[in-house]
Each structure stands twice: as C-alpha cells, then as structure tokens.
Amino acid sequence: MLCDVTTPQDLDDRFRETLAALPAAERRRDPADPITDDAPLTGAQVLDLFDAQVTSRQLDLAGRWLRSFGEGFYTIGSAGHEGNAAVAAALRPTDPALLHYRSGAFYCLRAAQAAAASPSGEPDSATDPAPTGDPESTADPTAGSDRRAGSDPASTDADSTADPDPAGPEPAPAGGFGAYADAARDVLRGMVASSEEPIAGGRHKVFGRADLAVVPTTSTIASHLPRAVGMGLAVERLRRLDSAGRRTGAGVRVGSGAGAAHVPWPPDAIVVCSFGDASVNHASATAAFNTAGWYDHAGLRIPVLFVCEDNGLGISVRSPEGWVEATLRAKPGIRYFSADGADPVRAYAVAAEAAAWVRRNRRPAVLHLRTVRLMGHAGADAESAYRSPAELAEDLDRDPVAATARLLVDAGVATGEELLARYDETGWQVRRLAEEVLGEPKLASAADVVSALAPRRPVRVARAVADAAARASGPGAGARAEAFGGKPPELTGPMTLAQSINAALADGMLDHPQMAIFGEDVAAKGGVYGVTKGLRDRFGPARVFDTLLDETSVLGLGLGAGLAGMLPVPEIQYLAYLHNAEDQLRGEAATMRFFSQGAFRNPMVVRVAGLAYQEGFGGHFHNDNSVAVLRDVPGLVVAVPARPDDAAPMLRTCLASAAVDGSVCVFLEPIALYHTRDLYADGDGEWLAGYPEPGAWVAGHVPIGRARVYRVGSADDLTIITFGNGVRMSLRAAAVLAEEGVGTRVVDLRWLAPLPVADIIRESSATGRVLVVDETRRSGGVGEGVIAALVDAGYVGAARRVAGVDSFVPLGPAARHVLVSTDAITDGARTLLAR
C-alpha cells in the first residue's frame, strides 16, 4: 500500500502487483517481429530495454539496502527515469555521452551496446543485445552546411521535418541480465566507494567509463553542458581537418609527430548530454544553450544533442507547468524534440529522429523527455513535506518500467509472470554483486586519494620542451621562418612582456598542430592589449577565433576541446571576469582527472589578463588583484610571468605540461607590465629582454614550481619574496636599500600554485629576514601561503608582510591608497631590518 513516502518496498510491491494483474495476450508474438505493426523496435529489442530498465531499478533498490546498514554512500537513483534507456538505444555506443545522476538505465544499455560491438567499433547486428539507432554511417560530412527547407532550427514540429532512420535497427535477441552485469557492478562499486570502481576509483559515484565513451560529470546542475558544447565544436573542427594524418578506426589522428592529437570518437560522432528540468534555469545551462545557438546562427556546426529529463521537480521545488517546454522551445538555433519516457517505443523513435537530425546536419537539438521521480530525490528525502499521496500515486501510475512490461505483455512477447521472473532474477544477481563488492578495498590513504588529481612529470615536460626546440631549429625551421615573415623573434631585438607572449604563442601554434587560441576580441582585434595580434593572419580563423562574450562559454569550449583531443588556449579578458565562470575551472576542469583516474583529461592553458596598476584606467574590473579563488583549486597550475624573459619559457612549460600531463594551467599576465620598458629610470630599457632562439630553450627551461632570484648588493641582509608587479617594485626598492648598504635577494615566485616552497625556504634561511610583498589582498592573498610555508618548515627568522588592503581597487589616484607601492616596500624593509 502506498504511504506518504514512496519507499523501496512500496515500489517493489506496486511493480509486482502491476505485473500480476496484466492479462496475457490472446496469442504469442515472435520476438523478432515488430512489437506493434508500425513500431521501429522488435519485441526482442523492447525486452532488452526492459532488462536495462530493470537492472537500473534493482540497482536503486540495492543502493537503499546498502545504505540501511551503513555500507552504501549514495542513494540518488534513477527510478522513474528509466525511459532514458531508449535514448541510449537510439545512439551509437561511440557517441560521447555526459550523463546526469539519474542515468542508470542509459548506462546499462550503453554498456550492453559496447560489449556487443565488433572490434572495429561498428555494432554487430547479429549479436547486438540492444537497438542502435541512426545507421547513417555514410552521411555526407558537408551536409550540415545546407539549410534545407524544413530544417529551420526555430521550427518546433519535429515530426513533420525530422529525418528518422527509415530502415530501423536490426533484430536482436534478448540479452538477459548477463548483458548488464558489468554495468551493474560498476554502479554498485560506486555506491560503496570501492577503489575497484572503474572510473573514479572510489572518489565519487559517477556514471563514466572511457571504453563506453561516457564522460563522468562532476556536478548535477548543468555545469557539464558548456563542456558538451565545446566537445561538439571540437569534434566538428577536428573532423574537417585533414592534415598529415588520416582517419583510422574509430578515431581521427590530427597532425603528426609529438604534437599530434588522437580524437577518441568517430568523425561523425555526436555529443549527448543529459540534465534535469530544474537545471534548465541554471546559468551554466543558459550559457550552453546560448553558445550552441549563437554558433549555429553564425553558420558553425556543433553536433550536440541536449537531453532534458523532466520529472517536474528540483528536489522539492516544482517546475511551473509548461515552463520547461516553453523555455526549451524558445532556444534559438536549437531544434526541439519531445517524447514521453513512459512510452519506450515512441521515446526510441523520437530519440532516433533527433540523433539522426543532429548527426546529418551537425547542428544542436534538444530532446525533452518527460519522466517521473520515484523514491524521492535521495534516501533522506522526506517527500511528505512537499508532495501529497495523490501526487505520488499519479507518478507510480507512470512508472516507465511497468509501462514497458505492459507493452510486452499486451503485444504477446511475454507474460507478466515471465517478466516478473526476469525482474526477480535480476534482483537476485544485483544483490549477489552488491555483497561481492562490499568486501572490496577502499581508498586507504591521502596519497591514494590524490594520486590521480594532477600528475607532475617534470622530466617528461622538460623533454617535451627540448623536443619542441629540436623541431623548431631543425625540420620545422622553414615553416617557423615563414610564419614569422622571414624574421624570427630572436632577431627582432629586445621585447616587452606582451611581445614575448605573442611570439611564444606563435611558436606554440607551430609546435602543437591541435592548439587553438580563442576568446573575446583575440582574433580580429588581436586582444585588448595586442597580445594576440597577427596570430589569426598567421594561423587562420579555424585556430585563432573570437568567441561570444561569456566567460562560462569560453572556458566550456576549452574544456570540451581539450577532452576531444585539442590543446585549447582560451583567454579571459580580465581577471575580474573570471569570477563569473570560476566553477568551470573548479568543478569541471580541475576535477576531470580526479574523477576519472586519468582516463579522461582536459588539458588547457587559460590566459588571463589581470592584477592592478593600470594607470588612469578601469577601476576594479580592470585592476582586480584577487587570486584566492585560483590558489585553492587542487591541482591547478597558476603561473605569473613578470618579465619578458620569463614569459616565453613559462608559457612553453605550461603548454608542454598540458600536452604531457593533461594539466590545467592559468597563465596570469600582469596587465600593467605588458608594455613596460624601463625598470629604474625612463629610457633605461631594463624591463625589456631578447627572445631566445630555439637552441637556448633547453637551457632557459623554467620548471613548474621554481622561483627566480635576483641578487642586489651583497644579498646577505634581506629576502624579499614577491611576484608580478611586485617584482619590479621590489627591485626598485632593493636599489634604494643598496644605497643604504643593505644587500637584498628578490625572489620572484613565478608560480603561485604550486608555490616554489623549496626556493622560499632556501632564500629565506640565507638572510634570516623575510619581507613578503603581496600585491593581492592581505586576507586570502598569496602572502598567507608564503608565511604558512615558512612556519611549516620551521623557519625561525624575522618575517613581515606588505600587502594590498582588503578592498576592491578604486578608480584613479584613490587606488594608491589600497595597493602596494615601492615606498611601502622600502619602509617595510627598513622596519624589518631595525628589529
């Protein structure tokens, strides 16, 4: 009997009652025949959908059982959403999928598809345990550029103009639980935090496996959608490239040599991403829809199928009636399809229709899949606080697993008794597997937990830089000379910081054929400060391009591109704007290796113009001095080049680390130093530096986490530890102190994450007096990390900080009251020396 909270026992009892009450059909139907006269699925294929759905349902029940005695750690289930098995069936097992947390049936079906695929990656119709839709493997790759009549993305009549697969899938025999056992074991291992779990290794319960082309998503509120758009854009761009490599097997190799990228999906793959109805309202979802539609309007192709699974609830908050449909239909440039998840045949037909349309046209679409939510949001969710018994009963009447069972019995493919036997057998097998995984090991130490977070292989990174130098001075010398117009940068004389970064980006583009530079104003304008000037002309609009004005989308494009095999270098125009999109770095970029044990990675070098000291311009939004949000992201590399002769080698290191280790790097460029030429006096040119020729790149290599030390005078009296604009001010202060007989070591950290702790300790101990010059804020600033490193190392000398005030940076001369100055550094040093 239904109570005011739908418990696992309620759901199980109701399902059994439903099957027991189903009358047998008058005659049996051959499972090889269509389930109904005009259905695109055979009876056997619907049985496979049923088995996938039942496996998912039994996993939900097992999750609650495990939690009941403290051995399960995740109870958000898929009950009521099992209609997504039909979506999986309509896709190819090589279509990359980013799945939200109610995707159990999709995952089970995808695992069965992949297991049945032949070694070439194409489904074997003779043994395929589940239908695979859209067999148009020979679709014209240029078809997406033709806006034919009836393909207007604003149209909402999907039935009248979409292009369903006329042939339908090949017949397939019923698979039983054996086809889904591996998937069930994966999910159960995630529930109990087993270190044997194949994707996250016990770090989190996610749906993901590299061999299934299922990319783990680390959030539930649509933060993976911008990545999906980036993947779609990258898949399409790489598909159109045809350089030294050629497509082979299931993937594409773009370019040649050490810089080549292997794209893990077929050239005609589409990207699918699922999310809940409440997530439609999230800023990340809005950004993704807008970006996909924006690019479609601009004529660029992004083959992404968004799947909104609409159960009408965001935990306890209802989606207003009709809101989700109205919202999705209104998205410009995105084709709308709709289906009921409780109708497996229709859901499959519409999903196949949508997938075929996206695959053929290489354009985005959304499938609005109506579902229900059974057993609440999670195990601790008391639905009685916000739902009536009548509402719960209504949802139970739309149970998608019962609906599939009813279809099978009405068609004469099976009896209710037979289906109940399959249900019980699956339940017994799932419980048996649950008992097995209970004994598997858990992560046993902090080292185990962080092992997959952000590997550092400095020797390989150094070797990659050496290899790049060898190519630039050897077989690539001609192309390099041509790219630089016959005059390579090492022959142009002393450079500013901006010019050095520009030259290093060009060298990076030459060495990494999969590298792309993009962001607001970076192409035609060459960046607000001219840092990317001329790069589009040298390397073309496919590799250097402008994006729409949205930082979430810029980073999402980078995340997806990196996952697809590219080496993205997105630009965030100002540091203050990064905060609009920081979750794309924290929740998506930095966690990918952590939650996939390195099976997936999103290498990326994010260029950010930032920090303060722009004279007479901008106020806070163009002089943001806050980096705390970057420094506490585990595994993130944060580089701050102060001088031109550091900028190029540090950028080469970041690119090499991204390519070798899959690192996510933030290259924070001090705006005020971009065009600085002088150090001590006007016209001295001492902030300029020559660009090294490739033969000098190895000797000048800057490893991640190594500081640079300047010695002024005897260098025995004081150590100043600083970075960015602080380096120039500290050197000026050191010159003043030298006239007073004080010898100073100025330590440029260069890397804010990881901090160069060994260099900090060594140089501090050498003098016993440390002045930390921190242009960021006193609270949450870099200086706190430096002081903490000294304390942790047992440093016993004197220490003092000069830091920015805990304030936003105001406009005009008022900024001088809250920012560090050369005079403040000099005075701070004198106070420290007087102790």
- pLDDT tens for 115-145 read 887 454 444 433 344 555 543 333 332 233 3
Question: How large is the average pLDDT for residues 25-37?
Answer: 92
The identity of residue 418, as a single letter, is: E
| 8 A C-beta contact, residue 105 and residue 53 | yes
Give the pairing of strands 708-712 and 261-263: unpaired
Identify the helix (H) or strand (E) that includes residue 652: helix 644-661
Q: How distant, in Å, are the alpha carbons of 163, 164, 353 from that of 160?
A: 9, 10, 11
Q: Tell me, what's the pLDDT at 257?
A: 37
Q: Tell me, what's the pLDDT at 119?
A: 54
Residue 777 has pLDDT above 50, yes or no: yes
Residue 165 has pLDDT above 50, yes or no: no
Q: What is the mean pLDDT of the chain?
A: 88
pLDDT digits 0-9 by tens, 483-527 = 999 999 999 999 999 999 999 999 999 999 999 999 999 999 999
d(CA 107, CA 130): 12
Give 157's pLDDT tier (boundaries 50, 70, 90).
Answer: very low
Helix axes 8-20, 400-411, angle to 10 degrees: 10
Sheet with 637-639: strands ordered across: 544-546, 515-519, 567-572, 604-610, 664-670, 637-639, 751-753
Q: How distant, in Å, are the alpha carbons of 210, 521, 572, 573 from that of 533?
A: 39, 10, 16, 14
Question: How large is the average pLDDT for residues 192-201?
Answer: 94
150 vs 450, which has greater pLDDT?
450
Q: Tell me, what's the pLDDT at 615?
A: 76
Q: Tell me, what's the pLDDT at 124?
A: 40
153 vs 24, which has greater pLDDT?
24
d(CA 52, CA 83): 10
Q: Tell me, what's the pLDDT at 171?
A: 31
- Taking residue 491's Cβ as centre, other Cβ atoms within 10 Å add up to 11
Residue 669 has pLDDT above 50, yes or no: yes
pLDDT digits 0-9 by tens, 340-387 = 999 999 999 999 999 999 999 999 999 999 999 998 888 888 787 888
Strand partners, 669: 609
Tokens of 80: 């009521």
Q: Tell me, what's the pLDDT at 743?
A: 97
Q: Tell me, what's the pLDDT at 393?
A: 85
From 199, 160, 204, 161, select the one nearest 182 (Cα to Cα): 199
Residue 79 has pLDDT above 50, yes or no: yes
Identify the helix (H) or strand (E) that includes residue 801: strand 798-804
From 473, 422, 401, 369, select the one nearest 177 (Cα to Cα): 422
d(CA 451, CA 594): 8
Residue 296 has pLDDT above 90, yes or no: yes
pLDDT digits 0-9 by tens, 530-550 = 999 999 999 999 999 999 999
Tokens of 21: 């009450």
147 vs 798, which has greater pLDDT?
798
pLDDT digits 0-9 by tens, 375-418 = 888 888 878 788 888 888 888 899 999 999 999 999 999 999 99
Q: Tell me, what's the pLDDT at 240?
A: 75
Give 219's pLDDT tier (boundaries 50, 70, 90).
Answer: low
Q: Tell me, what's the pLDDT at 375?
A: 87
Q: Tell me, what's the pLDDT at 163?
A: 46
Return the ∠ at Cα 458 (arms to 627 and 646), rounded to 5°: 55
| Residue 293 Ramachandran class (φ > 0 left, ψ -120 to 50 alpha, else beta) | alpha
Task: Please provide the size of the chain in residues.
Answer: 835
Q: Tell me, what's the pLDDT at 385?
A: 86
d(CA 532, CA 557): 19
What percentage of residues in the chain have a pLDDT greater than 70? 89
Q: Tell me, what's the pLDDT at 376?
A: 85
pLDDT digits 0-9 by tens, 89-110 = 999 999 999 999 999 999 999 9
Tokens of 830: 């004198």
From 557, 562, 559, select the one nearest 588 (Cα to Cα): 559
Which residues, other chains included, contact 372 with Cβ-Cβ below 8 Å and sequence gap of 6+? 80, 81, 311, 312, 341, 342, 395, 398, 399, 400
782 vs 263, which has greater pLDDT?
782
